[in-house]
Structure 1
């Protein structure tokens, strides 16, 4: 009964989405306020029904109802409760239901908190949002129904993919989807503006908080996915340029460009056409990521679907929404009035450079990801585009971007003083040179480019601090007044400082981990000792253990340094008998921002076990950086000026607008 109720709720959500996609547009065309307000009611009701459908699927998994195909194929009665819940989106059907639930959530948020929007604009935005929702409701109901029954229910389920039975799965996919799907609001605002033929600074002020919210979630989702792959897959790597990883990176790059472009539009009423195009492209790249994961064209730990019918359906969705929105853009964009002019050396100019470099970087990732797939479709030839291509094309684009980042906030709007900004960044430049000299001396005879990259990272971090010092008048006025000024700075300013500093922090982690990583790979028996980066690790023994739905071999290592015991590490190798698969549970020992990392391989006939031991200097800074960036975004989002958006019109003005 629960499965049928969930399925019925999904059908009702589709019906509401169809109403929401048509009636408000008619209301906007006829200037009928009652019909336009249908969008708000329908969006909230749609959210209610899709939430009920999702709750039904969660209930089926928690109660281990193996009469439902989705539960049978992805669950097990002995699986821990947390993995029963996260297993809901650890498969194709459940993850698509989560995708469309988040889509309905964002539509409901616009309906609930979009009262400051002009009624016609809100009607158009929610209608466009309903178009997207309707397409994905149909996709789920026709090709990916999570509520299908089994005629003769089995006693036990097949269990979830062991690699996905990890706490990271509870965080990574929802975060990633909140980012992916959150950009649908920017897309809906762009299409709504094109339909109305009206776009101005107020539009950018309305769309920027939604874009920022999606960007925060996507940043955290990518970081969480990177850390999950790092400790769960047992390879010790944090980024593999996997096509599905690239599929999440592309909308992040485009979304970052969109945020900065919307800022120019809001402050200077410029870059209108470009901002609308970025809004369309960012969500289009999110849809592309959905296609890559769900179509079956890729084989990856991230990819679920293997049915080509689903791929054709999603391809059709891509064609309709990307092709349709770009066609609408080509038709209406020339009619949009351009905003104010500005000099190349200005804050607007710096943000345009930011946009140029980010979009070119996004294009290189796009080409490197899709070229092998297109070549295989056209010629049947299989090639691999891996890390060397991306490193040699992506990295050079980010070097000028990182050099420019500290200058942007110090330049004035419309016309800036580059020499003056450089003088204010003198302390950052000196700190960068000192960092380069110290790292060069410490690693004399080692990597040549690494000290330069560390210096660039220090320049970015110190540049953010110089911006803060300039704003509060540090060392120019009494300290008490500077502190008072710091407390009075807008949260958006603090957000910019944290986000820019986060870039530098992440770069330090990336350079140190990739350049000075130490490793030991070999077979060890009890009482054998491995030496890595000044540490001595002794294998004390191997112990078998029974878990709730797996058996594991647990290894115990005693870690010593300078003759002193430091800690005990216990990596394990798990065997999931139901799935006939095994996973490696790495052991991590954190020392400041660095980590010791141990993962186990197979056991040989003589009792030795394959062991990988890594020392990863400052590796945690790779993820501290994105967390700082997301925290900066959260600070900006909490700024009342950004949160409130455009001023709410007076009742009389709203009534007059509705009557027009």
Structure 2
């Protein structure tokens, strides 16, 4: 009897979490507006209580999965008694209802983290920040309880067995990819709340940016890792060997990443120079709005994708209304309050200010380009104006040149000074890096492949330009110190984070360029005793066999791979059939490496002991994800900078604070 009561406990915990979120949204904001300390003091305990009850709800749903409680409709639709326990645990976020509950849990976790680690914030600012986050949380909890309740029951007709988790999601990628992605999505709610709180208070200054920047960096780092994991999962799980297809659901995660990148750089200018204040606040609103738009696209049913979960029009309408209210109200606050915090700071060309502004503009143009290509077909379809498909040709034609321009100005940024510097000095500092990038980038394809390729050279020139400009800036800083050791000690974590982030982009550029142009793919027919050569590697099928897994049966090919006289090694691709859904799946065999991947996927049984195989040679493909990890590490490293802790300590001091009375 007790296991059957667990879902009711989770449902009740969700209701209590909603009650606390509503109190968190209303009382602290009212207290800040009327200057009542007791009302503002409600913010912290309500954030803690909401998070605790969301944890209870989440783990009761997980317990229902682990106990095979098929009286819960969500468990019956997404689990099976044969499913391994670790997939049962992660099936909690394997479909719509559980994924939205995970979103709410992470939003509650971010609210609790702000209440815990922002104790030195001014009391009224913290009340406003947590109040805004409570309002967002209230909207999503209402969405869960009214349209997407994960604890809905099938009583009294309880099925004896569940339908099983989608085989595409029975993978380690499901365990780590969605939580990372959601941590990034939801993390931008913090800087959004900071922006709205600052606009309500009429104050955006250096202290404000020192509060907001660490949260922005951490959210951006999580989103970067989440996108990289999604690309990695698609690469090895879907069997086609690609790492990005401009799928609308992939684009939904890229949009807030691009806007968040612009936001991080804009925050740097606001902190250092006191400019771009309104632009920074608007980017914070824009970034979180794009996170909500991504939620709408994935959860509303307007898209058909392996990533899209919902197909209920009521859910789509609710999220659309929530998106409209959030964006509409925040833009109204911005329109009314932005003139009060505006502050013009002069700068000239060339300067780091101007270069960061150009980078921001390019990032916003890139964001709008992806946004239009993603939503325009949906808008036409919704208005019954026809169906069109916008695919890779559109995105590559527009996105690639914009990326090249962005990299060009990114390389200039570290070498420029704030406010203004002589153009001749900037040219002197960048000449060696630029010339080195051109020469090395032009020669690299000849050395690597024996043939010059203009597109490969362009990508490598841009990557080398980023690396060499960073090296020149680091060298200049060390020369200015009394000794290299002293110079290294003077460099801040924020500076090292910038170096890592830009280096990560360069590494990713190399991976994209090389694998896109030098990938070798062959679709072959292979039987036992036969062999084929691909990119200098010999693939010989030695045997075919069967394997029984916990909830699937598989045909397994044993393939010996040899290269240039080296000892052969074995690759074992599989073709699985999952028993509950009778769904066939390809389990790819990979031979990974820093310089190349070998990729073998089984296709169809062609009869007479022969199978269709897709064999690929993918040079430098791992650099795609290595670069993303370096970028994320750079974002996290910058948070360790001491000035953020000092800024929090000085935040309550009135001196030097630019404030405009309401």
TM-score band (shorter)? over 0.9
* Within-5 A mapping of 1:463-502: 463-473=469-479, 481-502=483-504
**Deviation of residue 433 (structure 1)?**
2.4
* Within-5 A mapping of 1:268-417: 268-417=273-422
The aligned counterpart of 1:75 is 79
Higher mean C-alpha deviation, range 281-290 or range 423-432: 423-432
Higher mean C-alpha deviation, range 188-197 or range 160-169: 188-197
Q: Distance in 2 between matches of 1:337 and 1:375?
A: 38
**Deviation of residue 155 (structure 1)?**
2.0
**Deviation of residue 78 (structure 1)?**
1.6
**Deviation of residue 66 (structure 1)?**
1.2
User: Given the alignment of the two structures, is residue 173 of structure 1 paired with residue 178 of structure 2, yes or no?
Assistant: yes
Q: 1:650 to 1:318 in 2, by over 3 A?
A: closer
**Deviation of residue 592 (structure 1)?**
2.9
1:566-615 Cα deviation digits (max 9, x unpaired)? 42111111111211212111111123331011111111222211100000
User: Residue 636 of structure 1 contacts residue 642 of structure 1 at CA under 8 Å; is this kept in 2?
Assistant: no
* Within-5 A mapping of 1:204-215: 204-215=209-220
Q: 1:167 to 1:252 in 2, by over 3 A?
A: same
User: Residue 481 of structure 2 contacts residue 487 of structure 2 at CA under 8 Å; is this kept in 1?
Assistant: no
Q: Distance in 2 between matches of 1:546 and 1:499?
A: 44
The aligned counterpart of 1:505 is 507
Q: Which residue, out of 247, 256, 260, partners 2:261? A: 256
User: Residue 9 of structure 1 contacts residue 49 of structure 1 at CA under 8 Å; is this kept in 2?
Assistant: yes
Q: Distance in 1 between matches of 2:445 and 2:548?
A: 50
The aligned counterpart of 1:184 is 189
User: Residue 122 of structure 2 contacts residue 652 of structure 2 at CA under 8 Å; is this kept in 1?
Assistant: no
The aligned counterpart of 2:109 is 105
* Within-5 A mapping of 1:424-439: 424-439=429-444
Higher mean C-alpha deviation, range 329-338 or range 128-137: 329-338
Q: Distance in 2 between matches of 1:392 and 1:30?
A: 53
Q: 1:503 to 1:331 in 2, by over 3 A?
A: same
Q: Distance in 1 between matches of 2:166 and 2:34?
A: 53
The aligned counterpart of 2:569 is 567
The ranges of structure 1 where at least 4 consecutive aligned residues each deviate by more than 6 angstroms after the TM superposition are 650-653
1:109-152 Cα deviation digits (max 9, x unpaired)? 11111111111111111111011100110100011000111112
Q: Distance in 1 between matches of 2:442 and 2:31?
A: 67
The aligned counterpart of 1:4 is 8
User: Given the alignment of the two structures, is residue 453 of structure 1 paired with residue 478 of structure 2, yes or no?
Assistant: no
User: Given the alignment of the two structures, is residue 226 of structure 1 paired with residue 228 of structure 2, yes or no?
Assistant: no
**Deviation of residue 381 (structure 1)?**
1.0
Q: Distance in 1 between matches of 2:570 and 2:646?
A: 51
**Deviation of residue 648 (structure 1)?**
4.3
User: Residue 244 of structure 1 contacts residue 302 of structure 1 at CA under 8 Å; is this kept in 2?
Assistant: yes
The aligned counterpart of 2:468 is 462
Q: What TM-score do the two structures reach when normalised by structure 2?
A: 0.96
Q: What TM-score do the two structures reach when normalised by structure 1?
A: 0.96
User: Given the alignment of the two structures, is residue 61 of structure 1 paired with residue 54 of structure 2, yes or no?
Assistant: no
The aligned counterpart of 2:39 is 35
The aligned counterpart of 2:637 is 635
Q: Distance in 1 between matches of 2:273 and 2:652?
A: 25
Higher mean C-alpha deviation, range 143-152 or range 429-438: 429-438
Residues matched between the structures, number: 651
**Deviation of residue 477 (structure 1)?**
7.6
User: Residue 209 of structure 1 contacts residue 643 of structure 1 at CA under 8 Å; is this kept in 2?
Assistant: no
Higher mean C-alpha deviation, range 590-599 or range 369-378: 590-599
Q: Distance in 2 between matches of 1:267 and 1:167?
A: 42
SS across alignment from 2:13: helix
User: Residue 594 of structure 2 contacts residue 623 of structure 2 at CA under 8 Å; is this kept in 1?
Assistant: no
